[in-house]
Structure 1
Amino acid sequence: MQIKQIFKSGITLIAFAIGALGVLIVLYAWQLPPFRSSVETTNNAYVKGQVTLLSPQIAGYVVGVPVQDYMTVKKGDLLVQIDDRIYQQQLAQAQATLQQQQAALANFAENRLAKQASLDLAKAQLQSAQAGLEKAELDDKRTGTLVDRGFSTQSSGDQTRVALLQAQSTVAQAEASVKIAEQNVALVDAGKSSLEAAVASAEASVKLAEINLDNTRIVAPVDGRLGEVAAHVGQYAAAGTQLTSITPAKVWVVANFKETQLTHIGVGLPVSFTVDALGDAKLTGRVERISPAAGSEFSVLKPDNATGNFTKVAQRIPLRIEIDEGQAAAANLRPGMSVVVKIDTANTPLPALASAQ
């Protein structure tokens, strides 16, 4: 009987010990007191980089692809060559039009001088006609007096009167010629702005043709490594067709921490992380920036929590981590790699998030 009681007591103690051990394991796994650590960890983190997709701005047949998949290239290196014969001819046509418009503008000065000379001649003829009118008026006055006194014949008076009328007509004609010459000069001056606009338009056409010709050469915008090269000789590439991509050497880490982990995390805090693809290699960095909003706020379809039953879910806040220089393993990082990030917040003052402002 005593053995049976002892056996039952032993089973109870073992069950209690197992239960206590299970509770301790759960507390440790969830980092709850008394096992809460100052080190915040997340495996929701990835290596990021600026992967740039390269596409042509103009359409044409591919005539040259001097690169291959995953090659390292320098800024300005030729990646894809599109047939440029049409664009060369368009540039030559635009340049010829520009020369024509420039010649027309250059002729403006000569035409202006000719019209101004005609105006000066008309004014001189008007002055001559006015002088002739003044003499005819004096002759008519003098002859009229002599006729009235009987010292001259009536025919002489008629002749001076006719000469006066002719002089008046000559002056009117000269004045009309001056007006016509002035209008011709004004018309030439008015055409100058049109000629200048035509030259500016032709210059813009040349520049556009040069841009289109330059766009037949798809070059590397930055130093980096190529992705898969989809272009091949003979392919017709429409504007916007993805030909390849380039990834610069500069990479960083984006770690998505739960909002409950950010109490002591601030900008400038040291970070250590490991990358799945690099085994146990440990790298270091520093918190560079903290996202201004949770990741859900940037999603296309935002969750609507104002419906039905609600279950609170801790949101994730992205952190951008700058990788420290001088680490050999960092050269093997590639955008998209999975990362485990650890941040020791033991020495971080409160509140840490204020430093993100």
Structure 2
Amino acid sequence: MSNFLRSLATYVAAMIGIVGTLVVIYAWNLPPFKSSVEMTNDAYVRGQITLLSPQLAGYIIDVPVQDYQIVRRGDLIAQIDDRIFAQKLEQARATLTTAEASLANSEQSKKSAEAKILSAKASVESANAGLEASRAAFGRSSELRAKNIASQSEVERDRAAFDQAQAAVHQAQAQALIAEQDLSTIIVGRKSLEANVQSAKASIRLAEIDLANTRIVAPRDGQLGEVTGRVGQYVSAGTQIALVVPDHVWVVANFKETQVADMHAGQAVSFTVDALKNQKFIGRLERFAPATGSEFSVLKADNATGNFTKIAQRIPVRLAIDPGQAMLEKLVPGMSVVATIDVSQTAAGTTKAGG
């Protein structure tokens, strides 16, 4: 009887060992239990969380929203006191008016200078005509003096008139040259005045932008996180006012490097969400991260040491979520999920033959 019991105990121990070995092989997904389905619980819902902050400094005078409120694009989140910026806009507009008036005055000065040039040219022509007349008179009196018909005083008088006519021509020519230089000065100065007008317009645009920036609005549809801005709070550029979480979410699943060999973009995926009682969702594999997760860490491990233990790295994989599914609106960034991919399927989502 004792031999029988010993044999029975030996058989039981052997069976327990075999069953334990099979359980370990199955748990580690090793042959003959290796499956084409790859799974990871290192996966989370992700979304584009936008931090709202002002671009300028001032006191908050209104915060019309509350924590976790649904907002639409353009909804007011916080209002900064805009009195100073409104006055800066009025000041910029006044500067533009002054610059435009100076430019208009320059245009009138240009027309006046052009008229002075025409007048100076007419004076030159008149002086030339007088010069010709005095030259003729001086020539006649000189001929008559040579014949003792005219007196010497008449010749001297005509000579003086001729000299005065020559001086008048020179003076008229100088006046014409001065008028032309005045026109050139006005034209050159006009470039500066035009630049002043453009600068004043740019100042108005900047003032309008600053005034608009006193209104901190939602950049897109979504739900607010905690609203940290308070009425009466002094804020500066970069101060956190609130967080906006858009409706669009996706999943980032971190698979081991030994799991991704047969994964391709477009493959169908499924995942369950812990927070929703393991509600199942379906989607598609979108793309792979360009490096393993350890490469993106702030403090990277240095494996160049005397003792080394090989650890399978994880590669982040982005999973798109198919629209129109039940409870999809309850997915929020940060939720833990368990993602599953059948790698026997092709990129189009169909299962390979024999897979």
User: TM class by shorter-chain length?
Assistant: over 0.9
Superposition deviation, residue 294 in structure 1: 1.7
Distance 1:139 1:307 in 2: 117
Distance 1:108 1:307 in 2: 79
Q: Which residue of 2 aligns with 1:330?
A: 328
Aligned in 2, Cα 1:155/1:307: closer, same or farther, shift over 3 Å?
Answer: farther
Q: Which residue of 2 aligns with 1:107?
A: 105
Q: Which residue of 1 aligns with 2:165?
A: 167
Q: Deviations over 1:316-335 (max 9, x none)?
A: 11111111111121110000
Distance 1:300 1:157 in 2: 108
Q: Structure 2: which 5+ residue stretches go unaligned?
A: 348-355
Q: Which residue of 1 aligns with 2:117?
A: 119
Q: Deviations over 1:257-278 (max 9, x none)?
A: 1111112111110111001100
Distance 1:11 1:269 in 2: 50
Superposition deviation, residue 246 in structure 1: 0.5
Instruction: Report 1:1-357 matches (<5 A).
Output: 3-348=1-346
Superposition deviation, residue 109 in structure 1: 1.5
Identity, % of aligned positions: 55
Supply the AA of the counterpart residue of 2:99.
Answer: Q
Distance 2:15 2:93 in 1: 92
Q: Structure 1: which 5+ residue stretches go unaligned?
A: 350-357
Question: Which stretch shows the higher mean deviation, 301-310 or 102-111?
Answer: 301-310
Q: 8 Å contact 1:76–1:221 — kept in the other structure?
A: yes
Q: Which residue of 1 aligns with 2:352?
A: none
Distance 1:202 1:333 in 2: 50
Superposition deviation, residue 10 in structure 1: 2.6
How many pairs does the alignment contain? 347
Supply the AA of the counterpart residue of 1:136.
Answer: S
Distance 2:267 2:170 in 1: 96
Superposition deviation, residue 348 in structure 1: 3.1
TM-score of the two chains, using structure 1 as the length reference: 0.94
What is the alpha-carbon root mean square deviation over aligned residues?
1.4
Distance 2:27 2:185 in 1: 91
SS of 2:258's partner is helix
Distance 1:179 1:306 in 2: 86
Question: Which stretch shows the higher mean deviation, 297-306 or 52-61?
Answer: 297-306
SS of 1:58's partner is coil
Distance 2:324 2:150 in 1: 123
Q: Deviations over 1:75-117 (max 9, x none)?
A: 1111111111111111111111111111111222211111111
SS of 1:91's partner is helix
Q: 8 Å contact 2:71–2:221 — kept in the other structure?
A: yes
Q: 8 Å contact 1:224–1:249 — kept in the other structure?
A: yes
Q: 8 Å contact 2:267–2:345 — kept in the other structure?
A: no
SS of 1:260's partner is coil
Supply the AA of the counterpart residue of 1:300.
Answer: V
Question: Which stretch shows the higher mean deviation, 332-341 or 155-164?
Answer: 155-164
SS of 1:282's partner is strand
Q: Deviations over 1:38-96 (max 9, x none)?
A: 11000111000010010011111111111100000111111111111111111111111
Aligned in 2, Cα 1:163/1:279: closer, same or farther, shift over 3 Å?
Answer: same
Distance 2:320 2:114 in 1: 73
